[in-house]
Each structure stands twice: as C-alpha cells, then as structure tokens.
Structure 1
Amino acid sequence: MVPNAIVVWNWPETPIVILVILVTALVGRWLLVRMIRRASALAVERAKRRREELGTQTEPLHMARYAARAATMGSLLRSLTNAVIAVLTVLTVLATLGIPLTPLLASAGVGGVALGFGAQSLVKDYLSGIFMIVEDQYGVGDLVDLGEATGTVEDVGLRVTRLRDGSGQVWYIRNGEIVRVGNQSQGWSTATIDIPVDTSESSTRVIEILGQVAAEVGADPEWEKVLLEEPRVVGVQSVEAGRMTIRIVAKTQPNQQFGVQRAILDRGSQALKDAGVKGPRVLPSPPTL
C-alpha cells in the first residue's frame, strides 16, 4: 500500500474483492432479468385468462397487444435493473478502493431533490402509465371514455395515451391526468333496439313477431360469432300518445352491438310491415296561441 494515497490498493486482496463484486453483480442481474421475463410471461397468460373469464374471444390481435404490453414492461424493468445494479456496483467498487463516498452521495442527493421537484408531473405520468399497463385497464383498439375524450385507443405509452374520437380527431392525454377509465371493449356489449308501433296494435302480437325475428338473427351464421346470447324481446318499454315502444336486447362481443342493432331493426321493421302492423301515429301539434 502506498502511504497517503487516495486509492487503497492491496495485492491481491483488492483485485479479488473487485472481481467478487463484479461477479455478484452479473449473477444478480441475470437472476433479476430472468424473474422479469418470467413475470412478463405470467402477465400475458393472466390477461388471456381474464379475457376468457369475461367471455371475450382471444384473438391474435389481442394476444399481440398483451405481448407488446409485456415487452414494454419487461424492457422498462430491465433498464431500471441495469441502472440500479450499475450504480450499486460502482459505489461498492469505489468504497473498496477507499474513495470517500459522502461528498458524492451528498451531491447526488441535492441533484435528485432538485430534479424531483422539476419533474413531478413527468414522474406522475410515468407511474400512472406503468400501473395502467400492469393492470390492463385498456389497450390498442379498445373503445374507452377517459373523461375529457372518448374514442378508440391508437397507442398506449408510458407517458401519453393517444386515441381517436368518432369525428376523427386525435387526442393526446397524459397518463397522470387520467382519473377514470370507462372501457367498452372488455367483456361484452349490449345491443338495445327500440321499435315503435301504434298504440292500437296488440302488444302480444307485436312481441310474437319480433320474437321470431330475434330467433332468426340468433340462428344466422353471419352473427354467430358476434352474439354471445340469442336476442330476446324484453317487452313493452314505454307507451306514449300514439306510440308504443317494444324493446329487444342482445349480448354481443365488445363493440359489436351496432351491427346487431341495425340487423334486428331492419328485419324487425320489415317483418312488422309485412304483417300489417301500423307504425306510430304522428299526432297533430297543438295550435299556438
């Protein structure tokens, strides 16, 4: 050892200790990365089981989305693991060489506090994005209501979510600003069809005709993969002046209810017309004074 030297170097103890530190860091990194990959695979499998439990078909597009989500999380966690292990390894080696760490840690602490105050919103966005991805709140292709905007998700990042609304406008929403999520693409959707007829018509006869239409749509191969249950007529929804409304409901795959609504409405209206059922009366407007 050289007297009054800044770096402490004892042969062969110091090189052996440094070698042990490096080997330990590499082994620890290998174990952590292996655990992260395993956790990512389990996350994909858990998301698949959850979708099956909700009664949603597991399509290749959805599985690709889950795989992309797991890959994003795995990449983030691996980067954090590499950074933490690298910092700990460097600090341990410096301590082994006898270099004082107190001034270095004090400077890093002051810089970290300043950076934390300046990047609070950024950290909030990233943390919210991580939890959204882990909890599978929504993904690409889902129809969601995020409060400020409603539309189809086009991209889910760790900081920003991009979605497109019905008018084609693209919205960029910071994940930290999202306080509630309404996802219409998880589980199933409900098609609700209200068909009005004249109040003079027999509700029993109208319900019977519409029941036949619902059964035909349920047996149609075109809607076999869309419908989760056969459409059913729930009965009279409302009775107003000159108008009686009969309601039909159908349980469908997520976001597939609109096509079913159009099909039942079209067939139901034609069946009622063929049976001679009159439509709702248009009452004259009261005279204005």
Structure 2
Amino acid sequence: MSLLATPTPSPSLSPTPSPSPSGLIPDPMEVVSDISKLCNDDALLCSTFANLFPNAVWAPLVASAITIALILVIALIVRNIAQRLITRVVNRAAVGTSFTGRLRRGAPATDGINALLTERRKQRAETMGSVLRHIVSIVIMGTAILTVLDRLTIPIAPLLTSVGILGVAIGFGAQELVKDFIAGMFMLLEDQYGVGDVIDAGAAIGTVEAVTLRITRLRDADGRVWYVRNGTITRVGNESQGWSRAYLDVPVAYDADVPAVRELLKRVTDELWNDPEYKESMIVEEPVVYGIEQISDTSVIFRVSARTLPSRQAEVARELRFRVKSALDSAGVPLVA
C-alpha cells in the first residue's frame, strides 16, 4: 500500500465567452417597457409614442407636452362656451320680464316707465354677467393651471395649503370688504336702485351716479359727492323706482264755494292731462282732485295729486302750482295761509 496520494487533477479553466455584439443593443420590447414606466396617467398616449418610436427616449416628454397642451386647449374651449352661455342668459334677462321692478297692481304701465325698467334690467344683467364671467374664468383657468402643475410633477398640495391659509387670513382681515361685495351682489339682484335714481341711503341723500359691487356714489343737492360702502347701507328709500307722485295742497278761505273750487281744480287737472307735452313724457295717470284734505276755522285745503314718471314729480308739481294760481286768480278765489 503506497503512502503517496494520487494527485487530484486540477480543473481546466475555460475562457469566458465574450458578449456578442447583439447583446449591446437593448431589446425593443424592454425599451418600450421602460418608456411606459415613465408615464403615469398618459399610458395610452405614451405607449402609442413608444410603439411608433421604439428607440426614442423623448417619447414620454412629447406625450406630456401634448397632454398639457390638450388641458389648456380644453380649458379655453370650456371657458369660451361658459362665457357664451352666460352672455346668452344675460341678454335674455335684459329683455325679459322684470319681477323686482314690476309696478304695483293697479299702477298703469306706460311706454316711459317700460323704457326705464328695461334700461334698469339691462344694466343689472350686464353687471351680473360681468361678475359671473370673471368667476367662471378664474375657476376654469385655475383648475387647468393646477392640473398642468400636477402633470409637471410639481407638488400642488403645499400650494393649495398656502392658498387656503392665505384665504383664511385675507377673509379675517377683509371682512368689511367681503361684506361690501356680498351686499352689492344682493343689491344688484334685487334691483334696489340704479344709476339716476334719487335715494336716501341713510348716510347721504342724492342722485346715484355710479354703482359697483363695493361702493355707491351719490351726488346731493349741493353738488357734494358721497361714496357710501354697500355694506353700511341698512335701508334705502328710492324716490325714482317705478313711478313718482306730485301733489299740491290748495288752501282757500273757509267761506269759499267748495263745489265751485273743486270744479275749478278739476278743470285745471284736465287741461294738464290733455296737454301733450306732459301726458306723453311726464304724467302716467290722469290727475285726481281728492277734495277737502284739511279744514280749519280760517281755511279749507284741497289736495291735487298726479302720478308721474320717476324723478319728474317736481316739474309736474311746479306746473300744477302755476296753473292753479292762474285759475284761482281769474276766478277771484283768494289763497289763504
């Protein structure tokens, strides 16, 4: 038995095969798979580009760019459609029936009053249409911009949080401003007053020269201009809405012939009503002689009333005074204090 171990043959080292040239070219299906992984929500669009350009690494970028362009185009189209709908509704509201500006039952509707109401409806509808168009544009374009930022992988959560905090801060700091805008919106919707109306706004009395969502500009009888915030107006007295009334008190002596005086005043009002200058442009209803309004130991007071177009009552009242004075002088009926 031999003590020498039989030597174990060492393994022969075979040369490692060098990679084939074809191994340096990636498989097109693997490229398509890698490109598709770069797309999140654009799988269909990105896969289409990957299939058309299997070796193009810019396919996801082109797909994202096209997606962003489509978002902006769709937003512009939707905004345009919404603004057209608002414009159509505004035009119909401007020429439609007015509910808030309708005259009371029994009040005659004339061409002059209808023209004024139509103009007021038109102004109110145009103002509300402008506000709605701005709101629609802000909402639609803001949503589109946020969507684009999300497509660009820009985190919008911090932006939304910041905007929310900023909105809360502005809301607390601008409570009066928000109050003014809300009051202005309801004022326009309810048609409380408009440009050219004579109103009593509490803080000032005068003719309305401008109305916005925040302030109302008035000019009083002395020519002073008042800027009144809409949120501070708690009550409004409108002297020019629908129709106005001109009235005249005629005091005559206690021993005057009451039927004769009443007939005289009735003749004066009939002449005024039949005057084309006043009937067609100022007076909307035949003037009325109410008869004895007050009586004392020295005088008897007759009252004459005429319904007029808005803000024309002063002119009609002056003409009534002139004609009544002339008629009483001709009849020899004196006026008493």
TM-score (norm 1): 0.85
Q: Which residue of 1 aligns with 2:321?
A: 265
Alignment of structure 1 residues 198-217 onto 2, 5 Å: 198-217=253-272
Equivalent position amino acid for 1:81 in 2: V
Alignment of structure 1 residues 203-242 onto 2, 5 Å: 203-225=258-280, 226-242=282-298
Structure 1's unaligned 5+ residue stretches are 283-289
1:149 aligned residue (188, 193, 204): 204
**Does the CA-based 8 Å contact 2:95-2:122 persist in structure 1?**
no
**Does the CA-based 8 Å contact 2:218-2:227 persist in structure 1?**
yes
Alignment of structure 1 residues 124-163 onto 2, 5 Å: 124-163=179-218
Q: Which residue of 2 aligns with 1:101?
A: 156
- The structural deviation recorded for 1:278 is 3.2
- The answer to whether structure 1 residue 277 and structure 2 residue 333 are counterparts is yes
Post-superposition Cα deviations, 1:52-77, rounded to whole Å, max 9, x if no partner, equal 76735268787666545444433332
Q: Which residue of 2 aligns with 1:46?
A: 96
- The answer to whether structure 1 residue 193 and structure 2 residue 248 are counterparts is yes
Equivalent position amino acid for 1:35 in 2: L
- The structural deviation recorded for 1:8 is 9.5
Percent identity, aligned pairs only, is 44
Q: Which residue of 2 aligns with 1:175?
A: 230
Structure with more contact order per residue of length (Cα contacts < 8 Å, sep ≥ 6):
1
- The structural deviation recorded for 1:49 is 8.2
d(CA) in 2 for partners of 1:190, 1:63:
21
1:32 aligned residue (82, 96, 107): 82
d(CA) in 2 for partners of 1:60, 1:279:
40
Equivalent position amino acid for 2:247 in 1: T
**Does the CA-based 8 Å contact 1:8-1:98 persist in structure 2?**
no
**Does the CA-based 8 Å contact 1:162-1:172 persist in structure 2?**
yes
Post-superposition Cα deviations, 1:186-232, rounded to whole Å, max 9, x if no partner, equal 11111111000000112111101111111111111221121111112
State the SS of the aligned residue for 2:277.
helix
d(CA) in 1 for partners of 2:172, 2:99:
41
State the SS of the aligned residue for 2:245.
strand
2:128 aligned residue (56, 59, 73): 73
Of stretches 62-71 and 142-151 in structure 1, the one that deviates more from structure 2 is 62-71
Of stretches 199-208 and 123-132 in structure 1, the one that deviates more from structure 2 is 123-132
d(CA) in 1 for partners of 2:314, 2:208:
19
> Using a 3 Å threshold, how does the CA distance of structure 1 residues 60 and 207 change in structure 2: closer, same or farther?
closer
d(CA) in 1 for partners of 2:102, 2:120:
15
Q: Which residue of 1 aligns with 2:171?
A: 116
Of stretches 178-187 and 91-100 in structure 1, the one that deviates more from structure 2 is 91-100
> Using a 3 Å threshold, how does the CA distance of structure 1 residues 64 and 186 change in structure 2: closer, same or farther?
closer
Q: Which residue of 2 aligns with 1:285?
A: none
2:139 aligned residue (60, 71, 84): 84
Pairwise CA RMSD of aligned residues?
2.8
d(CA) in 2 for partners of 1:51, 1:71:
16
- The structural deviation recorded for 1:15 is 3.8
Equivalent position amino acid for 1:136 in 2: D
d(CA) in 2 for partners of 1:254, 1:8:
63
State the SS of the aligned residue for 2:96.
helix
d(CA) in 1 for partners of 2:82, 2:175:
28
Equivalent position amino acid for 1:174 in 2: R
Equivalent position amino acid for 2:235 in 1: R
TM-score (norm 2): 0.74
d(CA) in 2 for partners of 1:161, 1:114:
27
- The structural deviation recorded for 1:45 is 1.5
Of stretches 18-27 and 142-151 in structure 1, the one that deviates more from structure 2 is 18-27
The alignment covers a number of residue pairs equal to 278
d(CA) in 2 for partners of 1:275, 1:247:
18
Equivalent position amino acid for 2:175 in 1: Q
